[in-house]
Amino acid sequence: MNLKTAWVWSKKPHWDKYYRPETLDEALAILERLWEGAKVIAGGTDLLAQIRKKEQEVEALVDITRIPGLDKIRMEGELIRIGALVTHREISQSPLIRGKALALAEGAGWVGSPQIRNMGTVGGNIVSGQPGADATIPLLALGASVKVVSRLGERTIPLTAFFTGPGKTVLDITSEILTEISFPALRGNEASATLRLAKRKALALPILTASVVVSVDGEKKRFDHVRIALGPVAPVPFRASDAEGVLASAPISDELIRKAAQRAAEESNPRSNPLRGSETYRRDMVAVLVERGISKGLDRLEVKHG
């Protein structure tokens, strides 16, 4: 830890009031009363760091960890529903997630350190709006939506429409709380994978994360569809829709997989960064990870390809 970092973390974070509501209605009422002065907190792994660095000005914290029902993972019909308070550790170790959405378990397993995975929540990971958030990218590939609640009611937002810029989302943090994430459980002809590129150092930020969902026909000769999600190689995490179109209903072949991977690289818009590498390198690695991710999905389905 350098001197600047040590100084930041030696500072005591400050706020005037701390609330622990026991119902969602109570939490929303507090937000309505305090408006811009309050921030919702659960695990706090991002927010507390931002407060210490004075990136966030906070008068009051609204701790939602006592609200019942937001810490469950469950199957409802064909949908998997994850409460916003579920931690990354719980996701990475959940038999349901590992069996029906393995890419998400893989992504959540890379978040921070064991301590951060024990504290950090999937809801917070999404609300942070970071282009490289480890849980967000597999959730995009899985076709997830989020439920957002306010005093006026609730709305369901596809994750593809949730992010508006680095650290920015459509969530109105002065009046809304993200309560749940849902997505279809993968079927027998579908498999998923998440691959991550980072420096060989504990807690390293990802240079690139790629998540894929591969669906094949009954004879395992053709793709049904492939979903490809990427970050942080654009202002927001995103789906590589052009690359997905290359594989839709197409015969399975390594040549076509490479073509789709190259198309995904062309859709990316990375910037050169001293921590993450040059634009050229990062774009090249998009093609590498997408190709490997699709191949891994096919291998998990025991599909031969060549």
Domain pair 14-186 / 190-300, same fold: no
The number of residues in the chain equals 306
Helix (H) or strand (E) holding 212, with range, is: strand 206-216
pLDDT band at residue 8, thresholds of 50, 70 and 90?
very low
User: In this model, does residue 6 exceed pLDDT 60?
Assistant: no
Closest CA to 259 of 294, 225, 224, 229: 294
**Domain at 14-186, CATH class:** alpha beta
Q: Where are the domains of the chain?
A: 14-186, 190-300
What pLDDT sits at residue 121? 92
Q: What integer is the mean pLDDT of 58-65?
A: 85
Tokens of 24: 């969602």
What pLDDT sits at residue 223? 97
Q: Which of the residue ranges 105-119, 195-209, 249-263 would you say has the lowest mean pLDDT? A: 195-209
Rounded distance, CA 78 to CA 132, Å?
28
Three-state secondary-structure class, residue 62: strand
User: In this model, does residue 273 exceed pLDDT 90?
Assistant: no
DSSP 224-266: EEEEEEEESSSSS-EE-HHHHHHHTTPBP-HHHHHHHHHHHHH
Q: What integer is the mean pLDDT of 87-107?
A: 97
User: In this model, does residue 3 exceed pLDDT 50?
Assistant: no
Closest CA to 126 of 156, 100, 173, 159: 159
CA 61 from centroid of its chain's CA atoms: 24
pLDDT band at residue 240, thresholds of 50, 70 and 90?
very high
pTM exceeds 0.85, yes or no:
yes
Fold topology of 190-300: Enolase-like; domain 1 (3.30.390)
Rounded distance, CA 295 to CA 299, Å?
6
